[in-house]
Amino acid sequence: MFRNLLAKSFEESLIPACTLPGHSLDVLLSASFLTSLLEQDIKSQFSLNTEQYFFVESTIRLAAYLHDWGKANSCFQSLLYCLSKIDKSLRQRIRACYGTDQLIRHEFLSAILVLKVGKIYDWLRSKYSEEQIRFAIAAVIGHHLRAEAGKILELGTGLEIEVFLGHKDFGELLEIGEQYLGLAKPPKLANVIWTRDEINAGLSTIVEKLQGLENLDFDQQICLALVKAGVVAADLAGSTGISDSWLENALTQTLITTNELDELITQKLKGMPLRPFQVEVGESQERVTIVNAGCGLGKTVAAYLWAKRWADRRLFFCYPTTGTATQGFLDYAAQTPIEKALIHSRAAVDREILLNGEADDPALDAQEALQTWSKKLVIATADHILGIIQNQRRSLFGWVALTQGAFVFDEVHAYDSRLFGALLQFIRVFRGAPILLMSASLNSHLVQAIQSAAGQTKIISGSQDLERLKRYQLLVVAKETEIWDKVEDALQRQEKILWVANTVRTSVAIYEQAKERFSSANVLIYHSRYRYKDRVEKQQEVVAAFRSSGAVLCVATQVCEISLDINADLLISAIAPAPALIQRFGRCNRYMVFGDSPKQIILYDPGESFPYSQREMETGRQFIEELVQWAGTTVSQADLAAVLVKMPTEGIKLLTGAWIGGGWQSHPHPLRQENSILAILAGDKMQIETEATLKQQTSGRSFEQCLYETANAWAIPLPPIKGCWGWKRLKNFLIAPATAVSYCSEKGAKIHAKFEV
């Protein structure tokens, strides 16, 4: 019934890329071409010697060749034929004979074929070492990121499976190994039928054969990780039909140049001279450089100067949140002619709202992460780079670009302990990559952790003359009610005011009071609990108000700490953990120069610790107390840094990561300490589906892709609330019932009292 063995279903007519030998050859050739183009980059970025590189390169090619062999089985072929445009009667006969249920995942069957069929194993061993075959099998079973200890031994439905080893197409597949890998003349094979018990025994053999891979030395762990990533990249390139000429251009021509960086620097300086610390950053010779400089002092220009030292690479600018990544793209990249990309989980929404639907290269539509393969400047969230440490799919798809990268990580002190641990592991694994770490203030514990991971580093402080300017006038009040007169006076002086509360509930209450008290004033609110599309517009509204003339009062939560590039004349803040306070201070008097007066910061105790712990809140109280003892009530950024450096940091340690330390297991792990859920409102579901349908009709993409993208635009981050895990779902999003959550575009989502935790 199966005239050809398929790797994919087909629409109009069968083409070679849809057959198992055709697809396997495409992926093998992609693996060969990629590793050839990237040889020097892989050696440099991961500090591999020539012997290690050739071990990795040849093993990637072997794994790419083997990766889909398991598709040559009756279950999988029946499924693909029934999904293809074939004669209806043939489809009915196939379905009646074989059904479409799957007894085993095809990638695991690929490994069983290598290990269980002696003729195949001996044939491969004639050229490859046992270690290479083990590494290749680990890459094969993990290339769809489904290889997990608790699930690998789970079988699907059916009592037996026929494997078409005697099929002419499988014979052609074996001949590809002889022709393109230099293997001996292939063995003669016949079809086999395996029962569930025999398949179970094969799965056990995989686990037994791959035991110990998690205990390799660090060099070997890096080699195994590179093999796994290389197969994912080759499969992606081979499956999307990207041409060799496109790949060669993307990986050799689209690297940022010194001339392009000079243009960026000139554009951002606007005629102003370089500051001494910026020059020092640009001259740093160390692979890992740490910049401690206050907000508004020009760290981004310093980063572009640093990048000139590492030109002819791909430059990654990494921010801690989607908001900061998008704002960084708008402020520093959007207006340049340089090939660039904005990459984060909601980047498609931001491009549509903020960039008039900026189109990406059509060849890369299959996966957004492929944009990075052909862009010189990539503005991303840290998650999209560090995600590779935890086997996250988009990061692995972008591995090709990461091998050519120079990396700037901004606001690294704002990372939670888990994300910071991933950064430390990234520094260790990408041990030849140039990395610049920037922060308004890194305490000594974080610096020591970085130095332990990186070895030799260079630490550069910001412009000392500017950092010593007495920038802030502190006023600590007993309660919030003492603040309103100060707000009124500032509004009359046409000042910009930022009021930061610790919870959404409190921010809404303050906003409502402000609207009532100052009915004619421009009063805005900004927090996280909006539909994403509404939040993007809210952020732009706030940024525009602070950059134009006239008074404004913005009431915000802690999301403003790193996602809003604004400059307040008066900052009001609830006491918060010490690092959060530093970030909030950075929103005030950002561009002070000699001769300017300090701006006032009013601090008050909110009376509750939520959403922070009591210990975290105590660090804030201690920080303010010691700051006043150290410098009085008129303080500089240097004073903030001097006090913060002595504050303890808890729980910072290297994150081993699933990519490096996971051995044969290859499935995604969380990168951050998750404390929220993503939900859509029940009342929005119909509108989301309607918009997705329209997008499908105009874009030509699948409904599933359009639905996910549209739902992302309507999604709202919420804390885990009572009963939420029992809600229905749309894709990956929980559907919040109206009885639990209500919404208005002005104030955002409101959790009804009986559902609050």
pLDDT at position 757:
66
Same domain, 228 and 266: no
The reply to whether 553 falls in a domain is yes
Cα 32 from Cα 426, distance rounded (Å): 26
- Cα–Cα distances in Å, from 333 out to 92, 171, 367, 513? 55, 52, 22, 39
Q: Do residues 129 and 205 share a domain? A: yes
CB-CB neighbours of 687 under 10 Å: 13
pLDDT for position 373 = 87
pLDDT at site 648: 67
Extract the tokens encoding 333: 């990249």
Given a cut of 90, whether residue 240 has pLDDT beyond it is: no
Whether residues 327 and 420 fall in one domain: yes
Amino acid at 85: K
Say yes or no: 285 and 346 in one domain. yes
pLDDT at 365: 37
- Please say whether the beta carbons of 133 and 124 come within 8 A: yes
Gap between the Cα atoms of 282 and 302, Å rounded: 6
pTM: 0.84
DSSP three-state, residue 553: strand
DSSP state string for 289-307: EEEE--TTS-HHHHHHHHH
Residue 598: what pLDDT? 95
- CA 203 → CA 108, 114, 617, distances in Å? 7, 12, 51
- pLDDT, tens only, 175-215: 999 999 999 999 999 999 999 999 999 999 999 999 999 89
Residues 202 and 347 in one domain: no
Q: How far apart are CA 182 and CA 170, in angstroms?
A: 17
249-266 average pLDDT score: 89
Q: Residue 104: which of 20, 161, 24 has the closest Cα?
A: 161
- Among candidate residues 443, 460, 477, the one where a domain is terminated: 460
pLDDT bracket for residue 349 (50, 70, 90): very low
Task: For 607-629, give the secondary structure using H, E and C.
Answer: CCCCCCCHHHHHHHHHHHHHHHH
State the CATH number of the domain containing residue 422: 3.40.50.300
Q: Span 625-630, mean pLDDT? A: 92
* Average pLDDT of the residues in 464-476: 89
Structure tokens at 687: 């509108």
Both 187 and 270 in a single domain?
Answer: no
**8 Å CB contact between 1 and 92:** no
Rounded Cα distance between 281 and 294, Å, is: 15
Identify the domain boundary among 460, 494, 528: 460
Q: Label residue 322 by pLDDT band (50, 70, 90).
A: low
Q: Identify whether 170 is part of a domain.
A: yes
Q: Check whether residue 514 and residue 620 sit in a common domain.
A: yes
In a domain? residue 9:
no
pLDDT digits (tens, 9 = 90+) for 593-613: 888 999 999 999 998 888 888
Identify the CA nearest to 276 among candidates 461, 502, 42, 120.
461
3-state secondary structure 423-460: HHHHHHHCCCCCEEEEECCCCHHHHHHHHHHHCCEEEE
The number of beta carbons lying within 10 Å of the beta carbon of residue 638 is: 20
Structure tokens at 39: 């040889």
Domain contains 2: no
Choice between 675 and 130, residue whose per-residue pLDDT is larger: 130
Distance, in Å, from the CA atom of 388 to the CA atom of 385, rounded to the nearest integer, reads: 6
pLDDT of 567 > 60? The answer is yes
Note whether 188 and 224 are same-domain residues.
yes
Task: Specify which of 145-159, 495-509, 592-606, 612-626 reaches the highest per-range mean pLDDT.
Answer: 495-509
Q: Which amino acid is at 280?
A: E
Residue 173, pLDDT > 60, answer: yes
Whose structure tokens read 């994403």? 532
Are residues 295 and 194 part of one domain?
A: no
The answer to the question of residue 653 being in a domain is no
- Provide the pLDDT for residue 647: 74
pLDDT of residue 650: 61
Domain assignment present for 7: no
At residue 444, the pLDDT reads 79
In the predicted model, what is the mean pLDDT of residues 706-717?
90
114, 39: one domain? yes
473 and 455, same domain (yes or no): no
Most distant CA atoms of the chain, gap in Å? 90
Quickly tell me which residue has 């739902």 as its tokens.
711
The residue segments making up the domain with residue 374 are: 248-460
Within-domain flag for 545: yes
**Is residue 481's pLDDT more than 80?**
no
Q: Is the pLDDT of residue 505 over 90?
A: yes
Q: Looking at residue 177, which CATH number applies to its domain?
A: 1.10.3210
pLDDT of 368: 63
Question: Does 1 reside within a domain?
Answer: no
CA distance 387 to 678: 19
pLDDT at 579: 82
Q: What is the pLDDT of residue 350?
A: 39
* Residue in 452, 470, 737, 423 with CA at minimum distance from that of residue 597: 470
pLDDT band at 355 (very low <50, low <70, confident <90, very high): very low
Residue 651's pLDDT band, with cuts at 50, 70 and 90, is low
Q: With 80 as the cut, is the pLDDT of residue 363 above it?
A: no
Number of domains in the chain: 4
Q: Final residue of a domain: which of 241, 270, 305? A: 241
- As a whole number, the mean pLDDT across the chain is 88
Contact 517, 484 (CB under 8 A): yes
Q: What is the pLDDT of residues 380-439, one digit of tens each?
A: 888 889 999 999 888 898 899 999 999 999 888 878 888 999 999 999 999 999 999 998
Residue 386 in 3-state DSSP?
helix
- How much of the chain, in percent, has pLDDT values that exceed 70? 92
Question: Is the pLDDT assigned to residue 356 strictly greater than 80?
Answer: no
Q: 234 and 196 in one domain?
A: yes
| Token duo for residue 161 | 């499976």
What local confidence, expressed as pLDDT, does residue 348 receive? 43
Residue 353 has pLDDT above 50, yes or no: no
